[in-house]
Structures are given as structure tokens and as C-alpha cells.
Amino acid sequence: MSDKRTYFIVDDDRVFIKLLTKFLSSESVAIVSSTTSSDALKEIIRKQPDCLILDIMMPGIDGFDLCKQVRAEANLNNTKIVMVSGKAYEIDRKRAFDVGADGYIVKPIQPEKIADQIRRIVDDRIEMTFWGVRGTLPVPGAESIRYGGNTSCVSLEFPKGGLFIFDAGTGIKSLSDHLEGENRHQVEAKIFISHPHWDHINALPFFTPLYRQGNVFEIMGPAHGDISIRELIAGQMDGVYFPIEIKEFGATVAFKDLKEGAFSIDGIQVQTILLNHPGHCLGYRIDYKDRSICYITDNELFPKTSRFYNSAYIKKLTDFILETDALIADCTYAEEEYTNRIRWGHSATTEVVRLAHKAKVDNLYMFHHDPGQTDTTIEAKGQQAQSLLTELKSTTRCIIPKEKEHFMV
């Protein structure tokens, strides 16, 4: 692929082509277009664009048929195909992927986001967003402005539009506002709960897409004894703790109890591991093509000097996160803080750094900060982590994500 990419737009609406060309054109992107789908294939074969942007409802050959024709051309195997259509129906979205599309964007487009949306599809990247990075309690106020004060919530959005959400702390309200602001016509997502401590589930009732008809969700997480994940979620909405009960959900919502294991969702591999935390707590590993992301929060790593140190567990966890691109990990305490919080179920940052280095992790994302820590002390904790990485001569990068910060993986 050359440094300057070529995007080829096929749409019978000249005004839309003009607008899309304006939003997508840059020093790194050249735009070619056609308003006649029946004549476009020969030019597409000649140009071999990096990305083909197709309307669906066109006279002559519609976008589905043109997509199939392009996919039949061996010389166009590397061309990404994005459907940009006014058809907001799930049946059309699924058909687009069935005939070989790599992405589906519903009109009207968002001018400020369309270039990034298409670039992510062309690069085949996962968009990872942190909506809440704190643990235990939300922390409002002037001392939590830089990194944010909301509790655990992270989302992964895949090139084909799949949405995975990890935990439902108060950060999920910001994700809810984001989805509402995008005016998404239909939201489908998998919600993975690490465990039912309140800072990981108590904002789920404020996730407004759950109340919208047409949306589809599956909420997954560990059962606790004979209490299913559905009962755990419903329990905090039984009228005593919250005025709206689970039966008020307008979306289609399914529940699934998880244990340690592995399964697949639309070609995305999901693995789970039990973590060292009071009660049943799961960590997750997501593998998509040649990339992986691990979500390991609420996990205590005892130092080797501790009588609670378990070498078998460390080996198991190291293998689970081995060579991952992104490790989102419980880094609740600075090393000096941890000595007074042993067996509270959370880790000292230095132990997480040693684990990440041993597992050859590419990027360590420090997560689940103690509510008593300010932006300044979180920064100091990050410096402590970086000093140890330098001492270890590690190739692992340490990142302190901010609330609403996006990363491409």
C-alpha cells in the first residue's frame, strides 16, 4: 500500500460525492468517484483503490451486486469496501457483510468523524475507549480533572461495527451519552461484567440504550454460586435500590453466565480467566486477527516475599496475557500504599509492571485508580512504573489513559 491512499466513491448522488470528497480529501488520500455503478467496475479494476465506498440504492447495479463483483476480482483482494447508505436496517447491514463489505456506515454521515471511521476500517483497527478509569468510588472535583473521576468502563469497537463493553461503572453513562449523541439507529453490543461489585455494575441502569426498542444486548459475566448474572443485575434494580426495574428494558437483552473458558463472537475470540479477587471475578482476553487486548481489573498480585504468593497462578496469568498488544490492568496502589492494603483484592503498580514485562506485553494501560489518589499522585504512580520498566530494560510501554481517550489497536 502506497503512502498516498486512493478512495473510490460510487454513488448516484453527485451532491453527496462532492460532500464526501470534501471531508475525506487530504495530503494522504486521493479521491476518485463515479455516479454510474454499471460502468464503475472497469475503472475500479484499473485503479485498484485502497478503499471502495459504495451506496446501496443505485440504478442498474446496486451496491450489493457491485460489492460481489469486486470481491470476485483477485487483484482487488486488498481493497477495503465500505457501504455508506441511508438504509438503517439490520438486515441490510448483515447482507453487506455477507457479500464482502468490511464496514457499514449509515447516512447522514457525521462530517467530523467520517474520515476517522473509514481510516479505521481501511487499517482494520479496533477503537479502544476508556470511559471510566477509577476504582471503588467515583471521584468528582478539581483533583480528578486530568484523568477523570468515573469508575470502570472500557469499550472496543471493531471495524465491522461490533461493540464490546467491559464493566458498567459510572463511566458507562458517558458511553451512553456518546452513543445517544451519535444518533445511532440501532445499537448492538456485548457487555462483559468482570464481577458484580457495585463499582462495576451500578451505572448499568443509566445506560439509556437498554431502554430503546430495536437495540440488542447480551450481558455476560460470572455467576456467584446459584445467583445468575441476570439475577445479580436485576437485584440492584428491584425497586428498593433503584426505581426502574429490569422489566422496563425496551431493548432485547439476553444474559449469559460465564466461567473460565473460550468462545467466539462473529470471528472474534474471547477467553476468560478467574482473577485473584474476593468472589468470582473474570479477566478477559480478546483476540482479533493478529491483535489482542486483555482486560484484567480487580486482581491482586502478591509479591514474592508474601506468604500468599502463588507461583502457579502467576504462571497461568502470564500465559493468559502473553505478548498481548494492550493490557488494561488493575494498578490501584503505589508500592508504598500497598503494604497497608494487603488482601484488599488489588495490586501494587510495581507488581503489575513486573508481570507485564515478564509476559512481553506491548502496552500496559494503568487502570482502576484508588479513590484517594489525585491526578498528581496518579502521575507519580506512573513515574514509578516507568522507572521500573527502565530498570528492567523492558520494551513494554506504560500508558495512563484519560477518561474518554481513544486508542487504536
Q: What is the pLDDT of residues 190-205, one digit of tens each?
A: 999 999 999 999 999 9
What confidence score (pLDDT) does residue 180 get? 87
Q: Which domain holds residue 118?
A: 5-123
Has residue 264 got a pLDDT over 80? yes
Within-domain flag for 330: yes
> What's the CA gap between 334 and 324, in Å, rounded?
24
Q: Provide the pLDDT for residue 160.
A: 84
Inside any domain, residue 31: yes
The distance of Cα 113 from the centroid of its chain, to the nearest Å, equals 17
For residues 90-94, give the mean pLDDT.
Answer: 87
pLDDT tens sequence across 298-337: 999 999 999 999 999 999 999 999 999 999 999 999 988 9
Read off the pLDDT of residues 337-382 as tens digits, 9 standing for 90 and up: 988 888 888 999 999 999 999 999 999 999 999 999 999 999 999 9
pLDDT (0 to 100) of residue 240:
83
Phi then psi for residue 384, to 5 deg, are -65, -40
Residue 189 inside a domain? The answer is yes
Chain length of the chain = 409
The verdict on residue 64 lying in a domain is yes
| Residue 200: partners with Cβ closer than 8 Å, 6 or more residues away | 151, 152, 167, 168, 169, 193, 194, 298
pLDDT of 161 over the 50 cut: yes
Angle, to 10 degrees, between the axis of helix 14-24 and the axis of helix 114-123? 70
pLDDT of residue 112: 84
409 belongs to a structural domain: no
Residues 197, 96 share a domain: no
**pLDDT band at residue 238 using 50, 70 and 90 as cut-offs:** confident
User: How do residues 37-89 score in pLDDT, each as one tens digit?
Assistant: 988 999 999 999 999 999 999 998 999 999 999 999 999 999 999 999 988 88
Residues 146 and 245 in one domain: yes
State whether 157 and 102 are in the same domain.
no
Q: Clarify whether residues 12 and 104 are in a common domain.
A: yes
Residue ending a domain, among 103, 123, 143, is 123
Q: Is the pLDDT of residue 2 over 60?
A: no
Q: Would you state the pLDDT for residue 110?
A: 83
In this prediction, residue 341 carries a pLDDT of 86
Domain check: are 114 and 150 in the same one?
Answer: no
Contacts of 187 (CB under 8 A, 6+ apart): 163, 179, 209, 212, 215, 216, 217, 251
Specify the number of domains making up the chain.
2
CATH code, domain carrying 64: 3.40.50.2300
Mean pLDDT across the chain, nearest whole number?
93
Is residue 407 situated within a structural domain? no
- Asked if the structure places residue 17 within a domain, the reply is yes
The residue assigned the cell 508474601 is: 306
pLDDT tens by residue, 138-150? 999 999 999 999 9
Q: Are residues 390 and 329 in the same domain?
A: yes
Quote the pLDDT of residue 1.
42
The answer on 30 and 51 residing in a single domain is yes
60, 88, 123 — which closes off a domain? 123
Query: Percentage of the chain with pLDDT > 90?
Result: 81
The amino acid occupying position 305 is T
Domain boundary among 123, 150, 169: 123
Q: What is the DSSP string of 99-154?
A: TT-SEEEESSP-TTTHHHHHHHHHHT--EEEEEE-B-SS---SGGGTTT-S-BSEE
**pLDDT of amino acid 182:** 78
pTM of the full structure: 0.91
Same domain, residue pair 276 and 347:
yes
What is the phi-psi region of residue 214: left when phi exceeds 0, alpha when psi lies from -120 to 50, beta otherwise?
A: left
CATH number for the domain harbouring residue 346: 3.60.15.10
pLDDT at 7 over 90: yes
Q: Which residue has the higher pLDDT, 293 or 26?
A: 293
Exposure of 314 in the CB half-sphere (CA atoms within 13 A): 17
